[in-house]
Amino acid sequence: MNATINLEKKHFPVLLNELISIISPLYGGTFIDCTFGQGGYSEKILESKNNNIIALDRDKDVLNKTLKLQNKYKERFKFYNLKFSQLDQIKLKNHKLKGIIFDLGYSLNQIKNSQKGLSFSDKGKLNMRMGLNDFSANEIISSMGENNLAKVFKVFGDEKYSKKIAREIIKKRKEKIIKTEDLVQIIDNVKKYQKTKIHNSTKVFQALRILVNKEISELINGLINSFNLIPTGGIIVVVSFHSIEDKIVKFFFKHYSEQKNSSRYLPETEVSERCFKLINKKPILPSLSEIRQNPPSRSAKLRYGIKINDKCDFSEFREKFNNLINVEDLR
């Protein structure tokens, strides 16, 4: 679920005031906006004359907006059509990097673009590619085996009816190519139009979107690369929207900010394994007035950390979420 979508279909950058108050003490340098989207964060940061933005987005459709910022802010704004897992390709040259920001998920423009097929209200060929993908949801639904489909729905969507839905998909695809509306119908039939708070198709669509966009490995590699790119004293900020994302972000900051050897009798070198300093242990959540103005923002969680160690061994981080990465690699 993405929180830049609201009922009036107007774009509101989520937790913008909170983000600005967290990063503004570091103003006067360069920030990397890893998820440019509609440019809400980038634009606000550029309002301060001493700031520069390097922006990334995997979706080429943001180019209209990036051109506007390029014209207005000239060399203070630079855009790369890259995935944030590719952060290591960014050349910083003379930039004084102060912060790296992630606002995960998809934007209002993307969900409104029916060709992308991110919404279960869309009709036509299944897609769900945000940009720079290797395959689409159509390829998954047309060719993945029953057990693997069920696993994807269960692990990435926590879908209770994962096995039944997978079985019905296999049956249906023998008759015809399954389009977005057919998948919604299959799920409705399995769930027998049960009345729940969320749409019947929400979980399966979330699972497919995670798989098609490889959102788990993107996030893990993006976070590790951001640590390697930012100098000590710099900040990494992440806004997440679903529980799998938040679990990953929480572990990244919490695990690597804890003192591994808490004995004060040990020499300094033994206790210098902390990679982050955390100012807020708990996530920052949207205020009631933000949720009222933009209801989907209710699921947003902002976490951040200040880098305090030059090197960090992230092998435990990768291992911890290896089971999820393995599901992302299923075909």
* 59 near ligand SAM (CB under 6 A): yes
User: Helix, strand or coil for residue 210?
Assistant: helix
Crossing angle (nearest 10°) for helices 146-157 and 202-212: 100
Contact 296, 239 (CB under 8 A): no
Binding to ligand SAM by residue 106, rule CB under 6 A? yes
Selected range binding ligand SAM among 98-106, 155-163, 248-256, 262-270, rule: CB under 6 A: 98-106
Site track for ligand SAM across 186-225, x = CB under 6 A: --------------------------------x-------
- Residue 284 three-state SS: strand
Q: How many CB atoms lie within 10 A of CB 95?
A: 15
**Smallest distance, Å, CB 273 to ligand SAM?**
28
Q: Cα–Cα distance between 34 and 263 in angstroms, integer?
A: 38
DSSP assigned state of 26: G
84 binds ligand SAM (CB under 6 A): yes
Nearer to ligand SAM, 41 or 227 (CB): 41
SS3 for 59?
coil
CA 220, 85, 37 angle in degrees (round to 5)?
105
Stretch that binds ligand SAM, among 50-58, 142-150, 277-285, 287-295 (CB under 6 A): 50-58
Give me the phi and psi of 98, to 5 degrees please: -110, -30
Does 297 interact with ligand SAM (rule: CB under 6 A)? no
**By the rule CB under 6 A, 130 interacts with ligand SAM:** yes
Give the residue ranges of DSSP H helices in the chain. Answer: 16-23, 40-46, 63-73, 108-112, 137-143, 146-157, 162-175, 180-191, 202-212, 215-229, 243-255, 288-293, 315-320, 322-328
Using an 8 Å Cβ cutoff, are 317 and 257 in contact? no
Site string for ligand SAM, 233-272 (x = CB under 6 A): ----------------------------------------
Pick 5 or 126: Cβ nearer ligand SAM: 5
57 binds ligand SAM (CB under 6 A): yes
**Cβ distance to ligand SAM smaller for residue 106 or 252:** 106
**CA atoms of 251 and 283, how far apart (whole Å):** 12
Q: Does 2 bind ligand SAM (CB under 6 A)?
A: yes
Find the shortest distance in angstroms from Cβ 34 to ligand SAM. 6
Check binding of 83 to ligand SAM (CB under 6 A): yes
Q: Interface residues with ligand SAM (CB under 6 A)?
A: 2, 4, 13, 34-35, 37-41, 56-59, 62, 83-84, 103, 105-107, 130-131, 218
